[in-house]
Amino acid sequence: MIERFPIVLPALFALAALLLPIAVLSISAGVTHLVAPQVFFRIPALAALPKLGGFVLGIGALYHRDEAWVYDPTLLFEDGSFWNMSALQFLAARADPVGYRLGELSIGAFIGLPDPLLDTMTLGSATLVVIAGAVALTTIRGMELARVLLAIPVVVFSTAFLTVYLVSLFLWSANALNFWVFLLAAAIYQKRRYASHH
């Protein structure tokens, strides 16, 4: 039984890495539906802008955290690739939301950041969130307004985390699967193409 641990544990960690975004999405959706009133989902600006702001913040976090060569596709399948790591190493490095410094980046949008591109991305994210807040302030009143203002950061930060994690998961999976990832992509494309014609 103990001899199987070296085989079973990596598989369990890999499964955890693949299932984590589903869990985060389910929890964040549950919290958002618990906190936000129905009007939050009926107004397009409130439903979409926090997600878009979170996406931009997530891209900014990737840019801030990693060197450019990490995302070089020509290095993706090499033995020395940044993404050539075990599932446990991947989870330890990429599943920790504190490591993305999303809160610091959000504050940096208002006080300025030394990197002009990062400053532009965080400012863009903050602008989208402020617009969503302004829409809420002009269209909603009372306790519903307070609930909407609570829901907006939940959506922003969960979307930012998922953006960083899903980009990382794709690159890590591509490195692990190597050329099989292209066969898998081709199979999915063919299945979708077949389904669209029938």
pLDDT of residue 21: 87
Per-residue pLDDT for the chain (198 aa), expressed as one digit of tens each? Answer: 445 556 677 778 888 888 888 898 899 999 999 999 999 999 989 989 999 999 999 999 988 888 878 888 778 877 788 888 888 888 888 887 777 788 888 887 777 778 888 888 999 999 999 999 999 999 999 999 999 999 999 999 999 999 999 999 888 888 887 766 666 666 666 766 666 665
The residue length of the chain stands at: 198
Nearest to 128 by CA among 156, 167, 107: 156
Q: Return the residue matching tokens 């922003």.
A: 156
pLDDT of residue 1: 44
3-state secondary structure of 66: coil
Using CB atoms within 10 Å of the CB of residue 62, give its burial: 0 to 12 exposed, 13 to 18 middle, 19+ buried.
middle
Q: Return the residue matching tokens 């990197």.
A: 115
CA separation for the pair 133, 161 (Å, rounded) = 21
Number of domains in the chain: 1
Using CB atoms within 10 Å of the CB of residue 175, give its burial: 0 to 12 exposed, 13 to 18 middle, 19+ buried.
buried
Q: What is the DSSP string of 138-164?
A: HH--HHHHHHHHHHHHHHHHHHHHHHH
CA separation for the pair 109, 127 (Å, rounded) = 9
Half-sphere exposure in the Cβ direction for 41 (13 Å, CA)? 8
The Cα-based distances of 74 to 45, 69, 79, 111 in angstroms read 39, 9, 12, 37
Amino acid at 96: D
pLDDT of residue 143: 92
CA 157 to chain centre: 9
For residue 99, what are the domain limits? 2-196
